A and B are shown apart, each in its own frame.
Chain A
Amino acid sequence: SQKIEQNSEALNIQEGKTATLTCNYTNYSPAYLQWYRQDPGRGPVFLLLIRENEKEKRKERLKVTFDTTLKQSLFHITASQPADSATYLCALGPTGGNNRKLIWGLGTSLAVNP
């Protein structure tokens, strides 16, 4: 069955450093891989989407890489700030056509200390 794994342990980093989060997946060939932010008690917020034919995508302080051979994505937040503290979710999909659902990882909790 399809499986998505993210760093299970919480990540604690110092303000100003780069946070790197990992998403690994098996038994799946997504057309897209997405990253979302989730704060406690709130809905996921879309951050970045990367397509299977793209290696890297950037948006402001965020960078995502996608290696379909390794079946892995790395998510980087540079110059991290305490406001970046949240849970970051990796989601695979859609695969195309009418199959537009997202399959989710459990998320990695990030704490940025001032």
Chain B
Amino acid sequence: EPEVTQTPSHQVTQMGQEVILRCVPISNHLYFYWYRQILGQKVEFLVSFYNNEISEKSEIFDDQFSVERPDGSNFTLKIRSTKLEDSAMYFCAITFFGGAQFFGPGTRLTVL
């Protein structure tokens, strides 16, 4: 099973600040994804990234969000100006082939 690591495990920030969440897949893969899960709610799709481009994004993924693969390995999610409602677990996931997705342990983002 492919491994995905995420850093930091917990991020606390003030409203209006920028945060960068990082995902490091251990092996080669095709697709990256970001999802979020607000406490007690469903997992929600944010964005998928393929061949160094966004292939799909949800209505949640507005201009405050961006994704990058700055060095060909790390995959980052940036939130430019955090809001209280951005507090959630953020999960990175990857796909090798087929439809199964493999998730990282998540970053808990707390916006104060």
Contacts and interface: CB of A to CB of B under 8 A. Distances in A.
Interface in B21-73: 31, 33, 35, 41-45, 48, 50, 55-56, 58
Contacts of A34: 99-101
B44 A104 contact: yes
Given A93-B99, A94-B99, A100 B31 contact: yes
A44 B33 CA distance: 13
A105 B33 contact: no
Nearest to A92: B99
Given A34-B100, A100-B99, A105 B42 contact: yes
A86 to B, nearest CB: 14
A43 B56 contact: no
Max chain A Cβ within 10 angstroms of own Cβ: one of B1, B33, B56, B95 = B56
Contact of B106 (A31, A32, A42, A94): A42
Max chain B Cβ within 10 angstroms of own Cβ: one of A42, A45, A100, A104 = A100
A111 interface: no
A99 interface: yes
Contacts of B45: 101-103
A93 B101 CA distance: 10
Nearest to B103: A43
Contacts of B89: 41
B56 A99 contact: yes
A49 interface: yes
A104 B1 CA distance: 21
Max chain A Cβ within 10 angstroms of own Cβ: one of B31, B98, B99 = B99
Interface of B: 1, 31, 33, 35, 41-45, 48, 50, 55-56, 58, 89, 91, 93, 95, 98-106, 108
Given A49-B99, A94-B99, 6 more contacts: A41-B106, A43-B105, A44-B43, A93-B99, A98-B48, A100-B48
23 contacts: A32-B99, A41-B89, A43-B93, A43-B103, A43-B106, A44-B91, A45-B103, A46-B101, A46-B102, A49-B98, A49-B99, A89-B43, A91-B43, A94-B99, A100-B31, A100-B50, A100-B55, A101-B48, A101-B58, A102-B45, A102-B101, A106-B41, A106-B42
